[in-house]
Structure 1
Amino acid sequence: MIQSSKKWKIQIPDEMFVQQLQNNLHISSLTAKILASRVKTLDEARNIIHMKDDQLHNPYLLTGMKEAVERIELALHRGEKILIYGDYDADGITSTSVILHTLLDLGADVDFEIPNRFTHGYGPNEELFRLAHEKGIQLIITVDNGISGIEPIRIAKELGMDVIVTDHHEPGEELPPADVIIHPRVPEGKYPFGELAGVGVAFKLAHALYGEVPEHLFEYVALGTIADLVPLTGENRYIVRKGLEKLRKSNHPWVQALCEASGVKQHEIDEEIIGFYFGPRLNAIGRLGDAKPGVEFLMSEDLASATMGAKLLNEKNNERKEYVNSITEEAIEMIENNSDISNSLVLVVAKEGWNPGVIGIVASRLVEKYYKPTIVLSIDSELGLAKGSGRSIEGFHLYNELAKNRDILPHFGGHPMAAGMTLSAEHIDELRARLHQQATTCLSDELLTPTLYIDVPIDLSEVTVEAIEELQKLKPFGVGFEKPIFVIQQVSIRSMRKIGANENHIKMELEDAYGILDAVGFNKGYLFNEISYGVKLSIVGDLQINEWQGRKKPQFLLSDVQTLEWQLFDYRGKVNVNHWVGNIPIEESSFIAFREETIQYFQAVIPSIQLVEDEIDNSLSPFIVLLDLPKRIHTMEKLIEIAKPQRIYAVFYTPNSQYFNGMPTRKHFAQYYTFLKNRPFFNLNEHIHQLSKHFGLNVDTIKFMTKVFFELGFVTIENGLLSVNEFASKRSLTEATTYQLRQQQIELEQKFLYSTYSELKQWFDNRMKELSYS
């Protein structure tokens, strides 16, 4: 048995709908199944495959757009100084770049400002607004922020500056006193699509100002939208798809420089490259300090300056990785070595000096490792404050649970799955204790087990190069339109081997009734010792095309595996104990011996071995290692009944095998008895080798026959001399205990030691089935 650490929830698509999609859209069953799990109607599916320009809405549908355009055009006419006020993440940097490009094209006297995460915090800042006023700024346009900046915007108005807010973050009950607010959800339900990123809102303003779709800005919008993890549905989907097309052919110096710095090919740019390579680099600069160089990089007009900017982004990203890795290691050490923290249902870790710009990433990593709501705090000892970020799991509404602790949490904000906060350092332990207690009322064991949602069950017959290539029509994948997770159920392993310099990866051939498929699992080399041939597996992962020397083959990229079947691992005849024992999960296994001499043989390598005789311990592990054979087959049957093993490792060490010696025939016994009867006394020790040659039987067999005769009373032994008992009663050879034990030993060896793998598996299978029906 192989159990996943996650609960699998497999969605079964409606077969009739799948067929309808195939017939009407002329697509493969693979593509149809994905769509069937995402949409309700044929038209929705068609809109995903065939992108139409009408998915890009008129910017004037946004409340305040007309007034914003009029005010900006007035500023252009008057030659007023305009300030674009952005944010320090990738969305804010791209938003700033979009409006900066637009206003410069329109001839504006424009500058930009981005607050520093550490000195100014998030959003509108009074100090920066006062500095703007001193510089003669007359119009401020916020991008990707502003909706919560009530007091700084009020001050800007008092100073005589006009303010246009463009934002997409959650609005509060009170809106800022800006001249104009452009927000896709303010007022609620007015704009057809409420999930634009900050850069998406900025793009709508640019569209309105240009009077036509600004095609040259799609690259920025795609980058910011993907990096900000907003849903890739509706208008966002259109924007990102167009942007990706543009990025793959773009002549912008920053695109070429970023590809070079990231080690990616420009023509291969997709949502994953932006999400894993471009976005983190742009985010890193604002996490560690001043984000303005990020805007300057995106505004680069030549390759030389773009290359310098990309180099800086790379350096900051590497620095960010080092911070994250270091803090994560320290946090894990805290958790593992402090029972107050590790036993809490909500992990709260804190330390002085942790970089507050990256602790949100650390919190996410800890949630991945422990699957508990997690808060990571950086302590400022001079101020006596702890500032940090939290990430949650399904079932624990982080914002609401934090809200129950307002008395010790003066500043916090966020949503169900993520939050930021500031509190007094002396209240850290109190916060942990309270949140743990709150979690006991809402987090069950089931909720504390991560769930893997699988939306596409497939057969091997569906997996072709053409079908996988067709999946490109469904891109981009992301939040709200997730990358599909495929499952292939009840497949067999045709072959498998470890690959890689350190053999930490695995390569397999999967097989079912419909075909054969290659599979590879990166960093899953350990599965080689956990998968036994003959079991049916269910495998989760992704589909890809493996191209080698011009030939294309479909390939399954393995991410998870499980089987409910018990497994047999055959280590019979393996001489090197140190080699095979390393393949067994020692902490989860019970090592079992039926003979004392076996324990003595293995004890130098295996410190803990259980001796099983008549009584069998009920507390055996689900994985059992059978080091030798019992004396009776009943003992093995009883062991299986009590242990109900998920895995059996068959070693069956037998130093004195009787199987090939066999059982002497009745004729052999009769000849030997007659030989002894014709001699009043016979010195066996002295003449056993001559006797062995005389009968053509080995020495052990002669000793065995002698012992049988002695147990039946047919002979007596005195002073090493054998003599026949003339008055012995007639008895069957099978009455002798020694005869019975040898018979049983030969039968056991035949069944367990010298049977084929299939025969051995079948024997255990039959015992397991008998138990399940009893």
Structure 2
Amino acid sequence: MFESKYSWQAPEGNEETVRSLAGELSVSPLTASLLASRGIGSREEAGRFLNGNLEALHDPYLLLGMDKAVPRILQAIEQSEHILIYGDYDADGVSSTSLMIYFMRHLGASYDIYIPHRSNEGYGLHNHALDWAHQQGVSLIITVDTGISAVEQIAYANSLGMDVIVTDHHEPPEVLPNAYALINPKQPGCPYPFKGLAGVGVAYKLAQAVLKEPPVEWTEIVAIGTIADLMPLTGENRILVSRGLECMRHTSFPGIQALMEVSGFNMGAVTSVNVAFGMAPRINASGRLDHAGSAVALMTTGDMEEAQQLSHALDELNKERQQVVETIVEEALIQLQDKMINGSVPDVIVLAGEGWNVGVVGIVASKILERYYRPVIILGIDPETGMCKGSARSIPGLDIYEALTSCKELMDHYGGHPSAAGMSLSRDQLPAFEEALNLFAAQVMSEEDYIPVIATDGEWKLSDVPLSVIDEMDMLAPFGMANPVPKLVFRGTRLVELRKMGKEGKHLKLVFRQGETRMEAVAFGRGDLADLLEEGMTLDILGEVSINEWNGSRKPQLMLQDMKITGTQVFDLRDAKEPWKEVQRIYDIISPHMRLDHRQIAAVFNPLLESSPKIQLNDCSLWVYDNKAGISAFNNAANTYGADHITTLFMVHVPDSVDQLDALLASFKNLSNLFLLHSGRNKEEQLTIPSRDQFKLLYVLLMRMALEPIREQEALARLSQQSSSTLRMVTMMMDVFEELAFVERRDGNIVVIPKPPKRELSSSMHFTKLGSLAEMEQHLVYEGTSQCTRWMISRLEGAS
């Protein structure tokens, strides 16, 4: 059984609503179902969701603190005060700062900007920056995407005679700063109806309050920051991002145009997915490896030549960032192995390393979370100061902001959301920090929380998604957080074509059939699964449907997200050059799909062929073939856990007999996955199922050459040549003759008995074993994949 990587969560049943929406909106049942699963239950709600416009935005003065902030800004403009825009270094912070620059230019303000350096300064307001601002004559500071936790720093700014207006969207702490005005929809007592604004969304609301109708093209900047910061694309965010993407398709901003070009997608068809995976990483790269100021310069330049230079510089930084991430991930995984006791991953993974670039630790955390599905904190350690700066990424079962709050006394600073956060602390506090987080997780999380779940949009047929329905589903765009790209389940599909594609075969191209409908599918980054799939298999699949356009042709295509193969599975990986390395490689591929722990994995081998296997898997049970018992335990894990828990077995060598194979299958009663890694035998050693004619011919040849005793090795070699049977076959046939008393073996010679007793071949145990062994090896060693795996599955099912 090849489990899905995720547990597929079906939407709640709402058949009546679906029928009603399908009829009232004249849409397909699939589109109606997608609307219903997103909480839309009526024609009116559907209209607001599908056709929302800027006029539907909430009154910005509903934001607590807006009534104080607007007059103060207007006063600063009237009195030509010098204003400081204080931003953050991520894509939301860059977007927020860029939007405020356009806002300041629009107002004709005197202003400066300040964005801290991620590695040298870290997140948030800093007193040295406030000192600099004071020296520049700043009397009003407006923070964007930061400030809600800066209690001490804002108190310090107040002492210098500077007013601070905070615009932020992060979770407010228990104690709020004494700012001139606090604008954050999440702060206690704020009546604003929509709490999901990004930092740039809050900044936009400030501009809306002052200008009433900000230039519509500013929504392009709002869209970038909102998508990049993974804010929910519902409510106001949906309106702002929809309008922003529409404007972006004919943008007048040189920086945005250049960024789209270097990201490699068509400006006229830009989507939220393009922004998330093309533009946002390049904007973030500036703050991760350099300074976010270069991204702000790109977003706010009016010169196309400068925009192109800056965009290409960001593209190179992004490539460098990818390499840095890959290096840290490798080092972090090695460190994690030392923390794993008996193969068990900690409830909360905390890893720290000297020299790890703090600008990319969040990405590293995401990659390790994806691999182990655990909350992950990655910290870079400054070897000179001993200070650690890090980022956390969490799973739905653990609110990481709440978890950090439970041990806040161990950190110098922290902040963030339920799913992501940042923190800084002393190196000396790391052990206590890790222990405290794991204790908290043990109290609030259950076993179910560690099973990755993916929300689906129900089970459908391939025939339910023709081109017309896929086009219709685009009405629900833009897709993103809280309005994800629809993920559809198709059960009982047949895999009819399979091949690797792309550089080094990293991706898969597949074709599935269900009934009369065929659909192509692409699985990016899953070329490693090619060894585990076989044409003709029946699979349940989960994917996102889209349209593949090529040379004027349009056809449905599935972006494969997950798959499941039900029933017992045999995987043909015979003739692996280094089978023990192959065991490790395959385990790394399959472990997310089979939800394995160390008690469920075993490998069996022949101790005469390999005395001490080289395997890295922690506590993998090792078993050996045994002439007496069939199989026996080889290591402590096998003795400790036994065979009852084993579901996945790696067969490194072929059994020496059918009895050993039967003993193996009888011992592993719960086996559902068998990986064949053994070498194919040389044709010179092949056995054939023996016939009476073969034995008759061999006996006649033997009589001719053995009128007198003959050396056995000489006789076997000559008999093999004259009978066209392998030496191994002739040797085993001689065992039959000896058992039936046709010959005797004396002192290395073979002596033919002149008048042997009359006995049937079938009465010989050696004859029966030879036939069974030849049949087993024919299937296991010499036949093709489909015949081999079918035969082995029949044996497995017969043993169960």
Give the drift of 1:452.
3.4
> 1:683, 1:722 within 8 Å by CA — same for their partners in 2?
no
Structure 1 unaligned blocks of 5 or more: none
1:643 aligns with 2:668: yes
Describe the SS at the equivalent of 1:215: coil
Q: Where do residues 101-120 of structure 1 align in structure 2 (5 Å cutoff)?
A: 101-117=102-118
Q: Deviations over 1:253-299 (max 9, x none)?
A: 11222123333332232212222222223233334454334333322
Distance in 2 (alpha carbons) for counterparts of 1:378 and 1:458: 46
Closer, same or farther: CA 12–83 of 1 in aligned 2, 3 Å? closer
Pairing partner for 1:475 from 465, 470, 477: 477
Give the drift of 1:249.
0.8
> 1:225, 1:240 within 8 Å by CA — same for their partners in 2?
yes
The answer for the alignment partner of 2:691 in structure 1 is 662
Say which is worse superposed, 709-718 or 561-570, in terms of deviation: 709-718
Distance in 1 (alpha carbons) for counterparts of 2:784 and 2:107: 82
Closer, same or farther: CA 241–661 of 1 in aligned 2, 3 Å? same
> 1:13, 1:36 within 8 Å by CA — same for their partners in 2?
no
Give the drift of 1:45.
3.9
Distance in 2 (alpha carbons) for counterparts of 1:577 and 1:70: 74
The answer for the alignment partner of 2:549 in structure 1 is 547
> 2:743, 2:752 within 8 Å by CA — same for their partners in 1?
no
Paired AA for residue 663 in structure 1: R
> 2:493, 2:538 within 8 Å by CA — same for their partners in 1?
yes
Give the drift of 1:698.
9.6
Describe the SS at the equivalent of 1:458: coil
Give the drift of 1:301.
1.7
The answer for the alignment partner of 1:257 in structure 2 is 258
Give the drift of 1:11.
3.9
Pairing partner for 1:488 from 487, 490, 511: 490
> 1:39, 1:45 within 8 Å by CA — same for their partners in 2?
no
Distance in 2 (alpha carbons) for counterparts of 1:90 and 1:721: 89
Distance in 2 (alpha carbons) for counterparts of 1:491 and 1:605: 39
Closer, same or farther: CA 663–552 of 1 in aligned 2, 3 Å? farther
The answer for the alignment partner of 1:347 in structure 2 is 349
> 1:629, 1:748 within 8 Å by CA — same for their partners in 2?
no
Paired AA for residue 642 in structure 1: S
Say which is worse superposed, 173-182 or 86-95, in terms of deviation: 173-182
Give the drift of 1:722.
5.0
> 1:59, 1:204 within 8 Å by CA — same for their partners in 2?
yes
Give the drift of 1:756.
9.1
> 1:490, 1:512 within 8 Å by CA — same for their partners in 2?
yes
> 2:5, 2:562 within 8 Å by CA — same for their partners in 1?
no
Pairing partner for 1:565 from 567, 590, 602: 567
> Identity, % of aligned pairs?
36
Describe the SS at the equivalent of 2:173: coil
Paired AA for residue 348 in structure 1: V
Paired AA for residue 524 in structure 1: R
Q: Deviations over 1:277-324 (max 9, x none)?
A: 222232333344543343333221221232233244334434544443
Distance in 1 (alpha carbons) for counterparts of 2:576 and 2:408: 61
The answer for the alignment partner of 1:466 in structure 2 is 468
Q: Deviations over 1:564-591 (max 9, x none)?
A: 32224568xx9x7759999777886745
Describe the SS at the equivalent of 1:246: helix
Q: Deviations over 1:41-79 (max 9, x none)?
A: 134444333334443223333344344333433444444
Give the drift of 1:761.
6.0
Q: Deviations over 1:715-759 (max 9, x none)?
A: 99999565447xx7x876644545555665677689888999777
Paired AA for residue 20 in structure 1: S
Say which is worse superposed, 126-135 or 22-31, in terms of deviation: 126-135
Closer, same or farther: CA 705–93 of 1 in aligned 2, 3 Å? closer
Give the drift of 1:39.
1.7
> 2:742, 2:753 within 8 Å by CA — same for their partners in 1?
no
TM-score by length of 2: 0.79
Closer, same or farther: CA 370–570 of 1 in aligned 2, 3 Å? closer
Give the drift of 1:201.
1.9
Q: Which has the larger radius of gyration?
A: 1
Pairing partner for 1:617 from 631, 634, 648: 631
Distance in 2 (alpha carbons) for counterparts of 1:424 and 1:699: 72
1:28 aligns with 2:28: yes
Distance in 2 (alpha carbons) for counterparts of 1:697 and 1:106: 97
Paired AA for residue 333 in structure 1: I
Pairing partner for 2:530 from 528, 543, 550: 528
Closer, same or farther: CA 508–380 of 1 in aligned 2, 3 Å? closer
Q: Deviations over 1:217-242 (max 9, x none)?
A: 11111112112222111001100010
Describe the SS at the equivalent of 2:504: coil
Paired AA for residue 662 in structure 1: S
Give the drift of 1:155.
4.7
Give the drift of 1:426.
2.1
> 1:627, 1:652 within 8 Å by CA — same for their partners in 2?
no
Q: Where do residues 97-176 of structure 1 align in structure 2 (5 Å cutoff)?
A: 97-117=98-118, 121-176=122-177
Closer, same or farther: CA 107–279 of 1 in aligned 2, 3 Å? same
> 2:140, 2:164 within 8 Å by CA — same for their partners in 1?
yes
Describe the SS at the equivalent of 2:486: coil
1:317 aligns with 2:329: no
Distance in 1 (alpha carbons) for counterparts of 2:358 and 2:623: 50
Distance in 1 (alpha carbons) for counterparts of 2:383 and 2:582: 49
The answer for the alignment partner of 1:273 in structure 2 is 274
Distance in 1 (alpha carbons) for counterparts of 2:96 and 2:85: 9
Paired AA for residue 72 in structure 1: I
1:331 aligns with 2:332: yes
Paired AA for residue 31 in structure 1: T
Closer, same or farther: CA 714–22 of 1 in aligned 2, 3 Å? same
Distance in 1 (alpha carbons) for counterparts of 2:571 and 2:755: 50
The answer for the alignment partner of 2:598 in structure 1 is none
> 1:25, 1:46 within 8 Å by CA — same for their partners in 2?
no
Paired AA for residue 643 in structure 1: F
> 1:519, 1:556 within 8 Å by CA — same for their partners in 2?
yes
Describe the SS at the equivalent of 2:395: coil
Pairing partner for 2:515 from 513, 516, 534: 513
The answer for the alignment partner of 2:596 in structure 1 is none
> 2:354, 2:381 within 8 Å by CA — same for their partners in 1?
yes
> 1:320, 1:358 within 8 Å by CA — same for their partners in 2?
yes
Distance in 2 (alpha carbons) for counterparts of 1:577 and 1:323: 33
Closer, same or farther: CA 433–659 of 1 in aligned 2, 3 Å? same
TM-align CA RMSD: 4.6
The answer for the alignment partner of 2:97 in structure 1 is 96
Distance in 2 (alpha carbons) for counterparts of 1:769 and 1:579: 29
Give the drift of 1:189.
5.2
Distance in 2 (alpha carbons) for counterparts of 1:167 and 1:577: 56
Distance in 2 (alpha carbons) for counterparts of 1:697 and 1:176: 93
Describe the SS at the equivalent of 2:555: strand
> 2:506, 2:525 within 8 Å by CA — same for their partners in 1?
yes
Describe the SS at the equivalent of 2:449: coil
> 2:680, 2:782 within 8 Å by CA — same for their partners in 1?
no
> 1:376, 1:388 within 8 Å by CA — same for their partners in 2?
yes
